[in-house]
């Protein structure tokens, strides 16, 4: 099948995703995995590569990797071990990375993702070749002549990240468009967050993605692929794949050949550039790490881990769809880690669609707009249920409800919606008599508009509703105001 925008070619994409586990300690030593600490403060002889130090694997990391493997429908290798991947790089404290090679911990998984195509959500299946365990590297800080250091360009290494448990998840080249690639990455992110094994923040590097991109004529052998690196967001992934596919088609159409290479995505320029040619790639000299022993498991042990699996996003989506939550909102809620809030609010008596609307709308907007985190808002399911109830009761207009929610955020969750509304005098005017008095004033003061309405210009009533809303500082129910206005105008007529 050709890709519509690729001029008779088919796009083929496979993804390699790296996920840092949020274990308490690193893969081989008892150092913290905290992000953003002062350089070289979470280090020990093991992760700083001191002579004589030895790695001992973190049981929790192996457990978490197994859990993710099962969530991805993979099979757990009954026997596997760690290998050394030998290459020199200053951020690699031992100049080899402990990784897995011929037998990974997990084989043969799959991920079902939903992609919007022609306005409809379609399910795509992406096969997962393997999931293996390895360790992260340190970080290089590049200091230019104009940087913090004098003299020529230098780099400086911080080993805090060295040895943080890392999973590499390799998909089959099953992806045929950028949207599926993006959906795959989002789904994987949702799953690891649901499992609680990683915070999967691309901006902090705890989730990273490389894309293998090639194009071919439909039915032909797989084309030569290029590996795209430096994809720092879901959006970059889509843009980079699109650019790279078009570039490759152009090369082929010009009679050229694709060179197997690694390319760097330049986010600002929106292009990929050659990083290094694959034929000069290092010979990694993999061999079983003699410092580590074989890992084994049994079907019984695997089933015990499987029993720990929480509801996975796909199941949640189906459940939410059944309760009337729109799929797009469900996706936002899952990606935002807000499912517990939704479930708690529903348990507290609110209708799922109403809660979902708030979560996918205002709450997501608030969290993604500023520096706020979901946890930082202090929002609870009870708050949401209360908010929905107040709107349902007519105690809050939707405009007022947004203000109330903002008040809840402002209090960092220490005040609930009723408290915020009461303190701020934000409750809707539910009393027809009070509202009627305002309406009478507006009718009296706007004789011309009233005449226009009466003269058949029904739209003119909107201006009157607006006047009432202003007079009540938004606390009037617009629908009820409209009704009362019509009644008042009719009465004045008689």
Touching other proteins, residues 126-155 (CB under 8 A)? 137, 140-143, 148-149, 152-155
Q: Residue 8 Cβ, how far from other proteins at the closest point, in Å?
A: 34
For every residue of 60-81, DSSP letters joined together read HHHHHHHHHHHHTT-EE-SEE-
Among 217, 250, 278, 287, interactor with other proteins by CB under 8 A = 287
Q: Which is nearer to other proteins, 39 or 173 (CB)?
A: 39
> Among 94-102, 324-332, 371-379, 389-397, which window interacts with other proteins (CB under 8 A)?
94-102
162 CB-contact burial (10 Å; exposed 0-12 / middle 13-18 / buried 19+):
buried
Q: Which is nearer to other proteins, 132 or 242 (CB)?
A: 132
Q: Which residue has the tokens 């992000």?
A: 35
Question: Which two tokens mark 284?
Answer: 């990694």
The residues pairing with 13 across neighbouring beta strands, listed in sequence order, are 175, 213
Asked if 205 is part of the footprint of other proteins (rule: CB under 8 A), the reply reads no
Q: Residue 252 Cβ, how far from other proteins at the closest point, in Å?
A: 26
The residues pairing with 20 across neighbouring beta strands, listed in sequence order, are 166
Among 5, 75, 78, 90, interactor with other proteins by CB under 8 A = 90
**3-class state of residue 461 by DSSP:** helix
For every residue of 189-243, DSSP letters joined together read HHHHHHHTS----GGGTSEEEEEEEEEE-TTSPPPPPEEEEEE-SHHHHHHHHHH
Asked if 104 is part of the footprint of other proteins (rule: CB under 8 A), the reply reads no
Distance CA 14, CA 176 (A): 9
Considering only residues 62-81, where is the footprint of other proteins by CB under 8 A?
Answer: 62, 81
Among 39, 73, 353, 430, interactor with other proteins by CB under 8 A = 39
Tally of CA atoms within 13 A in the half-sphere of 311 that contains its CB: 13
Strand order in the sheet with 96-99: 96-99, 83-86, 287-288
**20: nearest Cα among 209, 162, 199:** 199
Q: Which is nearer to other proteins, 54 or 422 (CB)?
A: 54
> Among 18-26, 200-208, 408-416, 431-439, which window interacts with other proteins (CB under 8 A)?
18-26
**3-class state of residue 101 by DSSP:** coil
Q: Residue 246 Cβ, how far from other proteins at the closest point, in Å?
A: 24
Considering only residues 470-489, where is the footprint of other proteins by CB under 8 A?
Answer: none
Q: Residue 172 Cβ, how far from other proteins at the closest point, in Å?
A: 22
Distance CA 201, CA 367 (A): 14
State the helix-helix crossing angle for 178-195 and 327-335, rounded to 10 degrees: 50
Asked if 302 is part of the footprint of other proteins (rule: CB under 8 A), the reply reads no
Among 295, 450, 469, 485, interactor with other proteins by CB under 8 A = 295
Q: Which is nearer to other proteins, 157 or 192 (CB)?
A: 157
> Among 39-47, 252-260, 383-391, 484-492, which window interacts with other proteins (CB under 8 A)?
39-47
Asked if 293 is part of the footprint of other proteins (rule: CB under 8 A), the reply reads yes
Q: Which is nearer to other proteins, 283 or 371 (CB)?
A: 283
Our CA dihedral for 157, 162, 167, 168, rounded to 10 degrees, sits at 30
Q: Are 207 and 335 in contact (CB under 8 A)?
A: no
Asked if 91 is part of the footprint of other proteins (rule: CB under 8 A), the reply reads yes
| CA distances for 201 relative to 192, 342, 436, angstroms | 11, 22, 53
**141: nearest Cα among 42, 27, 232, 39:** 39
Asked if 158 is part of the footprint of other proteins (rule: CB under 8 A), the reply reads yes
Q: How many residues bind other proteins (CB under 8 A)?
A: 78
Q: Residue 50 Cβ, how far from other proteins at the closest point, in Å?
A: 7
Asked if 41 is part of the footprint of other proteins (rule: CB under 8 A), the reply reads yes
**421: nearest Cα among 450, 394, 401, 393:** 401
Asked if 274 is part of the footprint of other proteins (rule: CB under 8 A), the reply reads no
Q: Residue 157 Cβ, how far from other proteins at the closest point, in Å?
A: 4
Asked if 290 is part of the footprint of other proteins (rule: CB under 8 A), the reply reads yes
Among 3, 23, 77, 272, interactor with other proteins by CB under 8 A = 23
Asked if 29 is part of the footprint of other proteins (rule: CB under 8 A), the reply reads yes
Distance CA 448, CA 453 (A): 9
Q: Which is nearer to other proteins, 82 or 243 (CB)?
A: 82
Q: Which residue has the tokens 């020199």?
A: 88
Asked if 285 is part of the footprint of other proteins (rule: CB under 8 A), the reply reads yes
Count CB neighbours of 66 within 10 A: 26
Among 25, 77, 182, 481, interactor with other proteins by CB under 8 A = 25
Asked if 114 is part of the footprint of other proteins (rule: CB under 8 A), the reply reads no
Q: Residue 249 Cβ, how far from other proteins at the closest point, in Å?
A: 26
Asked if 258 is part of the footprint of other proteins (rule: CB under 8 A), the reply reads no
Asked if 265 is part of the footprint of other proteins (rule: CB under 8 A), the reply reads no
Q: Residue 85 Cβ, how far from other proteins at the closest point, in Å?
A: 7
**3-class state of residue 317 by DSSP:** helix
Asked if 35 is part of the footprint of other proteins (rule: CB under 8 A), the reply reads no
């Amino acid at each position: 099948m050709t890709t519509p925008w690729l001029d008779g070619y088919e796009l083929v994409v496979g993804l390699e995703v790296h996920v840092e586990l949020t274990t308490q300690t690193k893969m081989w030593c008892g150092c913290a995995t905290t992000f953003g600490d002062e350089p070289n403060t979470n280090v020990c002889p093991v992760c700083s590569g001191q002579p004589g130090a030895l790695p001992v694997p973190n049981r929790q990391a192996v457990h978490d990797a197994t859990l993710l493997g099962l969530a991805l429908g993979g099979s757990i290798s009954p026997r596997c071990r760690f290998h050394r991947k030998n290459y020199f790089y200053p951020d690699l404290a031992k100049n080899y990375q402990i990784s897995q090679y011929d037998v990974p911990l997990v084989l043969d998984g799959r991920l079902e993702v939903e992609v919007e195509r022609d306005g409809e959500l379609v399910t795509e299946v992406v096969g997962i070749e393997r999931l293996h365990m390895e360790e992260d590297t340190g970080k290089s800080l590049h200091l230019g002549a104009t940087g913090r250091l004098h003299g020529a360009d230098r780099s400086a290494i911080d080993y805090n990240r060295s040895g943080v448990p890392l999973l590499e998840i390799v998909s089959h080249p099953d992806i045929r468009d950028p949207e599926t690639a993006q959906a795959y990455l989002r789904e994987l992110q949702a799953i690891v967050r649901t499992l609680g094994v990683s915070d999967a923040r691309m901006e902090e590097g705890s989730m990273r993605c490389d894309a293998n991109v090639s194009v071919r004529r439909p039915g032909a052998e797989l084309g030569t692929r290029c590996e795209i690196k430096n994809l720092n967001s879901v959006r970059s992934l889509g843009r980079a794949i699109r650019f790279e596919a078009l570039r490759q088609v152009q090369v082929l159409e010009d009679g050229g050949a694709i060179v197997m290479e690694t390319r760097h995505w330049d986010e600002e320029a929106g292009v990929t550039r050659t990083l290094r040619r694959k034929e000069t790639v290092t010979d990694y000299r993999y061999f079983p790490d003699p410092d580590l022993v074989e890992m084994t498991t049994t079907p019984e042990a695997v089933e015990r881990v499987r029993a720990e699996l929480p509801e996975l996003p796909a199941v949640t989506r189906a459940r939410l769809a059944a309760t009337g939550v729109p799929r797009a909102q469900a996706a936002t809620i899952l990606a935002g880690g807000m499912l517990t809030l939704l479930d708690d609010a529903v348990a507290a008596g609110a209708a799922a669609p109403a809660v979902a609307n708030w979560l996918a709308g205002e709450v997501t907007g608030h969290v993604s707009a500023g520096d706020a985190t979901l946890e930082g808002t202090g929002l609870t399911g009870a708050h949401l249920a209360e908010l929905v109830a107040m709107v349902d009761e007519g105690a809050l207009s939707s405009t007022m409800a947004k203000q109330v929610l903002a008040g809840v955020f402002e209090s960092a969750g220490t005040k609930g919606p009723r408290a915020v509304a009461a303190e701020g005098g934000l409750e809707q005017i539910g009393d027809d008599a009070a509202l009627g008095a305002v309406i009478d004033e507006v009718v009296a003061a706007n004789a011309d508009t009233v005449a226009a309405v009466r003269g058949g210009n029904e739209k003119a009533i909107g201006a009157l509703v607006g006047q009432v809303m202003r007079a009540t500082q938004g606390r009037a129910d617009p629908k009820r105001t409209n009704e009362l206005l019509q009644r008042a105008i009719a009465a004045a007529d008689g």
